[in-house]
Every structure is written in C-alpha cells, then in structure tokens.
Amino acid sequence: MPESIAVSVKNVSKQFDNVEVLRDINLTVEKGTVVSILGSSGSGKSTLLRCMNWLEQPDRGEIHIGGQRLGIDEQRGRAMSHRQLAKIRERVGMVFQSFNLWPHLTVQQNVSEALLRVKGMKRDEAKAMAMQQLEKVGMAHKADVYPITLSGGQKQRVAIARSLAMSPEVILFDEPTSALDPELVNEVLG
C-alpha cells in the first residue's frame, strides 16, 4: 500500500441481527485530505467510523490505517492482541457524536487523561499539552470547569482538543454538529 494512504477500507460489510448495515464499502483516504461521508440517518455512517477504529468488527473486508491492517496480526496470521490494537488506536483520534466527556473531570483533565494513561506523559507535560490544544479550540478559559457547565458547542470543542492532544495521524468525526443547535454549528465549525 502506498505511503500516501492514511486509511483504506476494502469490501467492508457489517450486519446487526440479520440487517445489513454496510455492504462492500470501499474507501481510500490519502494523508492530509478531508473526507465527508454523507448519508441519511441509519445509513451506516457511524458504524463505518466505528469499524475504522475497530470499536465494531466488520463481518467481512479489510481496514488499514497507515498501511497496517486492523484486527489481524499479519506476521503471525492470527487476531491482533489488545496491545497491538491499542497501538494502532493511538494513531486514530475519534470525536464521538455524544462527546463522551467524563463528568467528574474538569475540561483540562478530560484532555489530559489519555496523555497520562495512554502516552505515559508526566502530569506537567500532559497539562501543558492539554492547555495548548484547548487554546487552539478557544477553550483555555474553561480549563477548570466541569463539562456540565458547557454548551453543546463547547463540549464538542473540548472533545476535538482531546483528540488533537494525542497527535493522531487520522481523526474520525462522528456527526460533529448533529447534537448542536443551529447557532452552535458555526461555533464548532468556525
């Protein structure tokens, strides 16, 4: 696979309770590009994104991130270990439709947590990186508040900062504006 390819989806299919949600989906995304997947509600967009991060396993097909196949340890010819999958997931950011912020952590702690646990950063480093990313999305002034006090657009920007802080090669956004009021869409996309 060429080095210019960030994501490759080949003939991916997925069923839930005998209902075919994805059928032979093919997609190639080059590094540095932005791709939007459009479709009606229930058409499988979220399922495809979840398959691309192996949160759902496709029934058929292959998914490659940066040239590495998800789910299969090709050298050993068996299923990928949890550790191997975690290493690939470090390279893929996911911004969920429902934000998935931890309510018991401050905004800054929400961004820092994965840096501490996954990247193994020291607390000072993680906090500095979190603040840098919060600054990028215009949320540094809310670093010490809890998610319950934030608007939908602000929560989404914190979720984006959390993803950016991990320095992923690929970021998957699951309907980044669907849970927002129309006036908040500009806040998130702006």
Domain stops at, among 63, 89, 115: 89
Q: Are 13 and 58 in contact (CB under 8 A)?
A: yes
pLDDT band at 60 (very low <50, low <70, confident <90, very high): very high
Q: For residue 152, give its domain range.
A: 95-189
* Residue 100 CB partners (closer than 8 Å, separation 6+): 159
User: What's 65's domain CATH number?
Assistant: 3.40.50.300
Tens of pLDDT, residues 105-150: 999 999 999 999 988 999 999 999 999 999 998 899 999 999 999 9
**103 shares a domain with 182:** yes
- SS3 call for 15: strand
> Does the model's pTM come out above 0.85?
no
Instruction: Give the whole-angstrom CA distance, residue 14 versus residue 63.
Output: 13
Instruction: Give the whole-angstrom CA distance, residue 60 versus residue 135.
Output: 41
**103 shares a domain with 80:** no
